[in-house]
């Protein structure tokens, strides 16, 4: 199968610092990939290079047939790459529906012309549809995001990402700050994205999460891919050995 995303010997230098020294891997459509590695291994730099925030110093990044080297972050997002940052970037004072459509609220039309009035009924309807599509447990789209639990906020961030019709969702440590009983719910959301044919790259330190939902795991060490393994065919000990450099 043609990969959705393919990286070939990607390198990134910040002045004298070589954050990425040769990263290669391919991701199939609908595949869930874990990105693992110790602090400083290059995980965040790699994701920012895929989303266009950083420009690779060398190597190739292909997504859905396009060479991303010439694309800016807006164009890469339009191609179908969504990144959910660890801080989620939500407006805590606003409700769920507003957060899902933050910055691009549908406006009413009058005689075919857009009126610059936000169509609140439509926002709520579409936000509810997104939440339902995800099977997320958010009590009402009128709840203030700041009043929701960490797992529910994570659901809102994922629902927001879905409104861009992504082919790939990148999640940075989505379960790191969650209560134990909320982790399973977020993992269920990852499985739901996969069922919908959306590929996921999951950055996580929690190997139990990785083994629960990921198809494959790659490990970065000092800016290089040092392992690329099918989760069903490896063990936590093997992965840990790769992360710490004993493998």
Ligand X SMILES: Nc1ncnc2c1ncn2[C@@H]1O[C@H](COP(=O)(O)OP(=O)(O)O)[C@@H](O)[C@H]1O
Select 77 or 205, whichever has its Cβ closest to ligand X. Answer: 205
User: What are the structure tokens assigned to 16, written together?
Assistant: 């004298």
45 touches, from ligand X, Mg ion, none (C-beta below 5 to 8 Å by class):
ligand X
Binding of ligand X by 43 (CB under 6 A): yes
Select 134 or 219, whichever has its Cβ closest to ligand X. Answer: 219
Residue 23: other Cβ atoms inside 10 A: 25
Q: Least separation, in Å, of the C-beta of 185 and Mg ion?
A: 24
Select 66 or 176, whichever has its Cβ closest to Mg ion. Answer: 176
CA nearest 72: which of 91, 48, 96, 92? 48
Q: Give me the long-range contacts of 130-136 (CB less than 8 A, separation at least 24).
A: 130/100, 130/159, 130/160, 130/162, 130/163, 131/96, 131/100, 131/155, 131/159, 133/159, 133/162, 133/196, 134/158, 134/159, 134/162, 134/189, 134/192, 135/188, 135/189, 135/192, 136/189
Select 41 or 100, whichever has its Cβ closest to ligand X. Answer: 41
130 touches, from Mg ion, ligand X, none (C-beta below 5 to 8 Å by class):
none
Q: Which of 10, 24, 27, 42 binds ligand X (CB under 6 A)?
A: 42
3-state secondary structure labels for all residues of 12-28: EEECCEEEEEEEEEEEC
Binding of ligand X by 16 (CB under 6 A): no
204 touches, from ligand X, Mg ion, none (C-beta below 5 to 8 Å by class):
none
What are the residues whose beta carbons fall under 8 Å from the beta carbon of 213, sequence distance 6 or more? 32, 187, 190, 191, 194, 202
Select 39 or 70, whichever has its Cβ closest to Mg ion. Answer: 39
- Judged by CB under 6 A, which stretch of 12-20, 62-70, 108-116, 138-146 contacts ligand X? 12-20
Q: Which of 5, 10, 19, 33 binds ligand X (CB under 6 A)?
A: 19
Select 40 or 146, whichever has its Cβ closest to Mg ion. Answer: 40
Distance CA 198, CA 28 (A): 10
Binding of ligand X by 41 (CB under 6 A): yes
Please report, as ranges, the residues that interact with Mg ion according to CB under 5 A: 43-44
Interface residue list for ligand X (CB under 6 A): 14, 17, 19, 37, 39-45
């Amino acid at each position: 199968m043609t990969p959705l995303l393919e990286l070939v010997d990607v390198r990134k230098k910040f002045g004298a610092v070589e954050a990425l020294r040769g990263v290669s891997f391919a991701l199939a459509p609908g595949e869930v990939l874990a990105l693992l590695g110790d602090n400083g291994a290059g995980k965040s730099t790699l994701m920012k290079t895929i989303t266009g925030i950083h420009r690779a110093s060398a190597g190739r990044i292909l997504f859905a047939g396009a060479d991303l080297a010439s694309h800016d972050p807006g164009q890469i997002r339009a191609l179908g790459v969504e990144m959910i940052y660890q801080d989620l970037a939500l407006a805590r004072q606003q409700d769920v529906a507003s957060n899902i459509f933050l910055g691009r609220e549908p406006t009413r039309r009058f005689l075919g012309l857009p009126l610059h009035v936000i169509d609140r009924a439509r926002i709520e309807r579409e936000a509810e549809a997104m939440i339902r599509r995800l099977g997320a447990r958010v009590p009402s789209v009128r709840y203030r995001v700041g009043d929701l639990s960490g797992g529910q906020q994570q659901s809102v961030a994922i629902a927001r990402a879905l409104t861009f019709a992504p082919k790939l969702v990148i999640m940075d440590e989505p379960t790191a700050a969650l209560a134990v009983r909320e982790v399973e719910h977020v993992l269920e959301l990852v499985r739901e994205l996969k069922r919908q044919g959306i590929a996921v790259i999951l950055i996580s330190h929690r190997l139990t999460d990785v083994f629960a939902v990921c198809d494959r795991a790659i490990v970065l060490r000092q800016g290089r891919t040092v392992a690329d393994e099918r989760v069903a065919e490896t063990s936590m000990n093997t992965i840990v050995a790769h992360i710490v450099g004993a493998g």
